[in-house]
Amino acid sequence: MTRNALKEMSRTREVKLGHFIVEFATPGIGHILKAAGCDFAFFDLEHSGFGFETAKSALRYFEAAGVPALVRVPANDRHFIARACDIGAEGIMVPMVGTAAEAEAIVRAMKYFPRGDRGVALGIAHDNFAVQPAEQAMAEGNARTTLFCLIETAEGIDNVDEIAAVDGVDCLWIGHFDLSQSLGIPGQFDHPDFLAAVDKVVAAGKRHDKALGRLVPRVDEGIRLFGQGFDFCCYSGDAWLLRDALSSAIKSLREGCKS
């Protein structure tokens, strides 16, 4: 496993299967995902309540297990983006990307000279505290950082082709609930407006040869979406998976133990 695994994954259209971490940042979490066969981890800072110190530790857990991780930052803010890169995130996911100009600004925040103007701090977590020439370290950092743009607003749909065209955008990821809300049809994933928006994202990804990603709650939906072109498939989340599995077992036990 190289430290550029997510970048390499984003360049193929083979299926990549992962899991969403929103609750359990325990030392074993990386190895649990690895043992389950996950190709990547999606670590959330937007809705989880995790802070950057927790994320920094979790990234080491994933790295130790050989599971590349993308980090969703709390907001489209230069400080959050650059800090996530500095603590060692290979992949950065940014919420509610609405325009090509926003996407370009995100790329600049993630990349060192000559592609961007990310603040330079070398010999820290993102380059494994190594001593190496600055030019080499910065080039390696630029090659490693992988951008997942969350398309989850009506504005993002309107501009998705221009966003996909930005050099440095590696994946278009649909935030389905927020997108449905922005379209005025919350949770109506079969609505013609939602389906048309999804089709527009898929078309932009294929036109510009960018990866496509989704969070999926069910196996059958993940298979269907892969057939549509979504090659990054993130299956469920830690809290929901535990809740549902435990609920099913407890229900079965309770029924079986009735006298």
- Residues acting as catalytic residues: 47
Smallest Cα–Cα separation from 169: which of 137, 203, 209? 209
3-class DSSP string for 81-130:
HHHHHHCCCCEEEECCCCCHHHHHHHHHHHCCCCCCCCCCCCCCHHHCCC
Taking residue 36's Cβ as centre, other Cβ atoms within 10 Å add up to 12
CA distance 243 to 197: 31
Helix (H, G, I), strand (E, B) or coil at 20: strand
Tell me if 236 sits within 8 A of 22, measured CB to CB: no
On the CB side of 79, how many CA atoms lie within 13 Å of its CA?
A: 2
CA distance 107 to 169: 7
CA distance 210 to 150: 13
CA distance 230 to 237: 18
